[in-house]
Structure 1
């Protein structure tokens, strides 16, 4: 059974590795992944500060999400699913968990700086594109900026 729980600081290295595997799933080359490595790094202090939730099954990490910011508007700071479990509902489970947590905390909206390949997932979950945002890793690259209304 897959369930979602709070992430632990001692999982930071495993979460970083998962994020990089997930990003590589989309066919990005090594140079691109190297450029993203720092931005995708999860540090132990980030796990608690960024409200990290992990999906787990039989002791294995399947994915994670981070809920950033303070009400009324926050952000899905990171969300990655292990490539072996893409299409199995792990992303939906994590996203719904983040949305429920955001609502409990009083958020009215969440923004998402989405990888272009993940935009269809987020729009299927109810987010809408509101613009673009510059990549934090690759100069000149723009990412879809999405928003989910929680009201």
Structure 2
């Protein structure tokens, strides 16, 4: 496994990973289509943000991306893995790389909006729930989480 900076040409595979990973949680094809804009990783997004891909052999199997909000604050914008790799340590590998990168770059705080089904994953790394907001799906709330480094 290796983590590399994503290139502009990775946008289609990263979008595919995002949509497949989101669908893993049981969302309908119709719902995934409604979220299409939010689940699409464009070349512009890759060019303007920090995006790192996880390569296993010759296959891109996951990625994370982050946005610098303020001098010491970062938003973890995306962390997705292909469904067949979920539960096999790939997400942990990505998250540890991300956290180490943030510590090395001297950031002090990370926030994220968690997929409700992934909240436990982030709690294991020390993130704490600091709030939530209702999504476009009635009675579905996304946890807002943060960690201090």
Q: Give 1:31 shift.
A: 2.1
User: How far, CA to CA, are the matches of 2:147 and 2:134 in structure 1?
Assistant: 19
Counterparts of 2:47 and 2:111 in 1: how far apart (Å)? 20
Query: Does the 8 Å contact 1:114/1:143 carry over to 2?
Result: yes
2:98 corresponds in structure 1 to 98
**Which residue does 1:71 correspond to in 2?**
71
Per the alignment, residue 50 of structure 2 pairs with: 51
Check conservation: 1:12, 1:44, Cα contact below 8 A. yes
**Is 2:99 aligned against 1:87?**
no
How does the TM-score come out when normalised to structure 2?
A: 0.92
Cα deviation digits, residues 39-68 of structure 1 (max 9, x gap): 011011211422111111111011000011
Distance across 2 between alignment mates of 1:126 and 1:64: 20
Q: Map of 1:132-151 to 2, 5 A cutoff?
A: 132-135=132-135, 138=136, 141-150=140-149
Give the structure, 1 or 2, with the largest relative contact order (CA under 8 Å, sep 6 or more). 1
User: Which ranges of structure 2 fall in alignment gaps of 5 or more residues?
Assistant: none
Q: Whole-Å Cα distance in 2 between the matches of residues 134 and 72 of structure 1? A: 27
In 2: Cα distance, 1:64 partner to 1:121 partner: 16
Match of 1:60 in 2: 59
Q: TM-score, normalised by structure 1?
A: 0.91
- In the aligned structure 1, how far is the partner of 2:96 from the partner of 2:48? 20
Aligned residue-pair number: 147
Find the residue that maps to 1:77 and give its secondary structure. strand
**Residue segments in structure 1 that go unaligned for 5+ positions in a row:** none
| 8 Å CA contact 2:116, 2:141 repeated in 1 | no
Q: Give 1:139 shift.
A: 6.2
Kept in 2, the 8 Å contact 1:51–1:67? The answer is yes
Contact 1:56 1:62 in 2 (8 A): yes
Per the alignment, in what secondary structure is the counterpart of residue 118 of structure 1? helix
RMSD, aligned CA: 1.4
